[in-house]
Amino acid sequence: MLGVEDFIDEAVEDIRQRIPGKAIIACSGGVDSMVAATLASRAIGDRLLAVYVDNGLMRKGETEEVEGMLKEMGINYRIADAGAEFFEALAGVTEPEQKRKIIGEKFIRVFERIAKEFGAEYLVQGTIAPDWIESGDGVRDTIKSHHNVGGLPKDLDMTLVEPLRDLYKDEVRDVARTLGVRASERQPFPGPALAVRCLGEVTPESIAIVREACHIVEDEIQKAAAAGKMELPWQYFAVLLPSKSVGVQGDRRAYGRTIAIRAVASIDGMTATYARIPLDVLDAMSTRITNTMKDSVNRVVYDITNKPPATIEWE
Ligand code: XMP
């Protein structure tokens, strides 16, 4: 890669040349889309519209946070409230690849609507190298169709511009820091959002459980890292399992859901090792999750698998 400053100058110039008209970008608030949006905004100003699709599958407080970041970077943006549409499309679907495809496609359909209204002819995307390498773009077998690639419909009638296509995550973070993008220190979050952390069918109820559990895991791990008890892992979250198990609540039999905690050390997400979390931190997460969601969750487990053989997300 070039020096970071040179990369930024070249990317901005390249976008300016390639986009003579109006462009749209899906901005999830993740580092990739925020960096791509910031570069494109520098190149073409308000001819860029950043769209944040609230798909109903985002983390606690995420919509407000992303809106704050977009404002801070001076990017022209719109928030699309589309949760109901996503839940409707996902009803009854349990197969991970099918979920990804549905979410990717819905995403694009929502954009297309807004893109038409705005008059955009170009679609800017924050696709990075691992997205297309792991999506089997002729390089490897398909492991997961990461939605930046797999969910694009064939009839897309906008020209695709991908300024980060050759970068790996750590390089994108360097660019983000130089641009002053606050998302630079955020952990990665998958395009299909909490839907791939909710094994089995995705419903508003199950998303609410995994959203709260993810919030608790993030909060407890961040507190422990700030107190010097552990290093902040590369990625850390909760997964809601589809099966139920037996427990006790008071003196009564309970039959509830299981939350798996996942936390990994990694450089670029291509390989990972599970994080060695101190037992008292695991204990704090387990107790808080089961106390907060007494009626739905009665078991918490910690995932001790590396990638490979596992992947980071469970779906
Ligand atoms: P896996 O689970 O494949 O994840 O080991 C590697 C990294 O990619 C993220 N991930 C995704 N990102 N769309 C994305 O944009 C997706 O469908 C997707 N699936 C996984 C994952 O969170 C991890 O950081």
Predicted local confidence at residue 108, as pLDDT: 85
Q: For a substitution probing ligand 1, which of 234, 313, 314, 315 has the most ligand atoms within 8 Å of its CB?
A: 313
| Dist CA 129 CA 147 (whole Å) | 13
Token digits of residue 301: 């487990």
Q: Residue 57 is encoded by which pair of tokens?
A: 């599958």
- Any bridge partners for residue 215, and if so which? none
CA distance 187 to 173: 10
The DSSP code for 232 is P
Kindly state if the Cβ of 186 falls inside 6 Å of ligand 1: no
State the pLDDT at residue 156.
66
Residues contacting 96, CB < 8 A, separation 6+: 144, 196, 315
Nearest Cα to Cα of residue 136 among 155, 154, 150, 153: 150
Instruction: Say what the pLDDT of residue 147 is.
Output: 45
Per-10-residue mean pLDDT of the chain, 315 residues long, equals 90 98 91 95 98 95 94 96 97 96 90 93 92 62 56 70 94 94 81 95 98 98 98 97 94 95 95 98 98 97 98 97
- Note the pLDDT of residue 203: 97
Residue 155: per-residue pLDDT: 63
Position 131 scores a pLDDT of 81
CA of 158 to the centre of ligand 1 (A): 25
Ligand 1, atom 18: closest residue by C-alpha: 190
Candidate of 33, 146, 315 to mutate for ligand 1, largest count of ligand atoms within 8 Å of Cβ = 146
Is there a contact between 27 and 41 (Cβ–Cβ < 8 Å)? no
> How many Å lie between the centroid of ligand 1 and the Cα of residue 182?
21
- Residue type for position 267: I
CA of 295 to the centre of ligand 1 (A): 30
Strand partners, 78: 51
- Ligand 1 atom with minimal separation from the 32 CA: 15
Please indicate whether residue 144, judged by its CB atom, sits closer than 6 Å to ligand 1: yes
The CB-based long-range contact list for 93-96 (8 Å cut-off, 24+ gap) reads: 93/201, 93/202, 94/200, 94/201, 94/242, 96/144, 96/196, 96/315
* pLDDT reported for residue 130: 84
